[in-house]
A and B are shown apart, each in its own frame.
Chain A
Amino acid sequence: MTQRRKALLAFLLGPGAGWLLLFFLLPGALVIVYSILTRKDGGGVEWIVDFSSYVKLFSPTDGAVINDFMVIFARSLWWAALTSFVCLLIGYPLAYFIALQPAHVRSTYLFLVLIPFWTNFLVRTYAWKFILNNNGLLNTLLQDWGFERIAIINTPTAVLIGLVYGSLPFMVLPLYASIEKLDFDLVEAAQDLGANYLSVFRRIILPLTAPGIGAGIVLVFIPVTGQYIVPTILGGGKVAMLGNLLAQQFGPALNWPFGSAISVIFMVLLMAAVVFYLRSENRDGEAGL
């Protein structure tokens, strides 16, 4: 490599690499370091190495091996999986529909998918609260039409609605990008050779759009595990997710090392999941990276 090419490379990569170093790697390292320090009452840390945060995280409570922290971990993962699944069910037909439209209409539809981002997520979540409230829009309409009121606000169902609503565009966009690239000659060829709709979808369309599905799931799953706003506002703060647990540790508990330890363990879990996903993609001959 010549001197000039090296300089050019440094020039091009420098800003991005510097950004990641400053705002991703350093804070990440800080979290790991904090997780093995001693809690200072009143917030902050003492610079004394102490692994008690990890011990606490894995100690049984009340004789149960699955302690309260693990329950919250499991719930966050389960709700994130459920949200990804529902988003996929709703998002796939939508993305497919958009991808089949003429080019100029397509951009309009994509634009519509993105429009909710123009309003702050907190405001949109409050809007859902007004819809789902005991005396909210939904229940008023139900009563007007002669049905019983349903108690949906402050339940896990309301949380799931909010999570799916907030995550749907993150599923639709990668799916669209993937379906739009689909070579429909292959679909026709399969049909000519006698495949019915189901097997065309199962054996041609689904495998070819799998990368979009995978990307969509990763984009939905990871942010949802850390959700804080939706369980607080639509769940009435009754059922905690990981984000709420973290806010509690850094907030009222003023236990920074323990909050950091929770983050570290969860980072490891998510990283393992992503690596596993990329590996399996590669095994399918999908050379993702």
Chain B
Amino acid sequence: MTKTVRSPLSLMILSLSLVFILAACGGTDNAPAASNGESAPASNSAPATDVLPEFCGDPSKLSAELHFFNWADYMDEDIMAQFEEACGVKVTQDIYSSNEDLIAKLQAGNSGYDLVIPSDYAVQILINAGLLRPLDMANIPNVVNIDPNLMGMYYDPENTYSIPYQWGTTGIAYNVTAYPDGVDSWAALFDPAQVCEQKGFASMLDDERESIGATLKYLGYSYNDTDPDHQAQARDVLLAQKECLAGYNSDNYSQTLAGEEVMIAHAWSGGTALAHGENENVKFVVPKEGSAIYMENMTIPADASNAYTAEIFINYLLSPEIGAQLSNYIYYFSPNLASQPLLDPTYHALLESGGMVVDDEIRSRLEWIKRDDQSIIFSDTWTAVKAR
């Protein structure tokens, strides 16, 4: 051997350092600093008039900034700008893509966020972990605008910590060109003969609770069934279905539906409404066997530094006008009854023609996804589906 040959270690170090130098050039962290702007008065960016509109609350208690942690495509940014214009509070928004991301962030402490939007079961987890702060309803009089049927849900019976933000259902999105007679049963996705007619053009949500839950419903069980035998049956149905799927997708199913890359998909009503808005052939149905309901909620982390401002902003979002503006923008179901008369006619028309409207009969078939100490079996079933 000649001495000129480099040792493997030095070669690795050389290559790695090249990679790291290149990698170091990208990536910034958008999370607000935890120590940020502790309740500084809003004076410098306040509007020209000295007297703020009444909905801005007590100006001396308002902070200059509000740190909002939200799902993607779940807020009209104009609303944030309007609030800043009126009350002089700059609302900055960061995005998460799963409840678990949010839970991990809050559990680590000092997240720096003042307003977060967890789903139903995540609210329960956060309350049990002591990570949420009770809301001062005196600052949120507009809570009376919320549909009473959507208050007092199982995860927060007295609405001590949470106020409904938007809600939706899980079901099947399909393309009428492939299904001229429509779809009414989970069998379209779980009966191998039926789903394989769309081989490579069908997708399921990449979500262990939703996909296994839907299979359990198809088999006649509860969405939350943790019985090992029932879970094993669901696993076998999912494995039989798998070879005819394009894949598991809960991130951009609305694009693949609108672009007709998939003709049938396990989907949420909110994303399907977006797809239907782009491609009217995409329709939605809550299967006759039943399905799931979900609701996102406005909550304030226990360690939020600007809780008062967050409550004022929640109240602002619950006003009829702003509530309607939000719904007209994101096309989810709004719990805000007072905003209904102000909604754009196309909002109703779109939900109507897309099959998204939930009446009492459909509502009676919907189940909440619940978590308890037995729920871990969903993860093991899902691992089996993905491993085999």
Contact = CB atoms under 8 A, between A and B. Distances in A.
Q: Are chains A and B native binding partners rather than an unrelated pairing?
A: yes
B7 A41 contact: no
Interface stretch (A28-36, A171-179, A194-202): A171-179
Contacts of A236: 203, 245-249
B8 interface: yes
A42 interface: yes
Chain A: interface residue count, which band? 35 or more
Given A170-B15, A218-B8, A237 B200 contact: no
Contact of B383 (A211, A239, A245): A245
Interface in A115-143: 117, 120, 133-135
Contact of B387 (A39, A69, A173, A209): A69
B1 A286 contact: yes
Interface in A217-261: 218-219, 232, 235-240, 244-245, 248-255
Interface in B192-233: 200-201, 203, 206-209, 232
A120 B26 contact: yes
A72 B387 contact: yes
A68 B103 contact: no
B11 A244 contact: no
B365 interface: no
Contacts of A215: 8-9, 11-12, 15
Given A120-B26, A236-B249, A238-B248, A244 B386 contact: yes
Given A236-B245, A244-B386, A208 B2 contact: yes
A238 B104 CA distance: 26
B9 to A, nearest CB: 6
B211 to A, nearest CB: 11
Interface string A141-156: 0000000000101100
Contacts of A117: 19, 22-23
A72 B388 CA distance: 9
Interface stretch (B165-173, B280-288, B350-358, B371-379): B371-379
B100 interface: yes
Interface string B94-109: 0000101101100100
A288 interface: yes
A42 B261 contact: no
B342 interface: no
10 contacts: A39-B376, A68-B387, A68-B388, A114-B18, A173-B14, A211-B8, A218-B8, A232-B206, A238-B247, A277-B8
Interface of A: 39, 41-44, 61-62, 68-69, 71-72, 75, 114, 117, 120, 133-135, 151, 153-154, 170, 173-174, 177-178, 181, 183, 186, 207-209, 211-212, 214-215, 218-219, 232, 235-240, 244-245, 248-255, 277-278, 281, 285-289
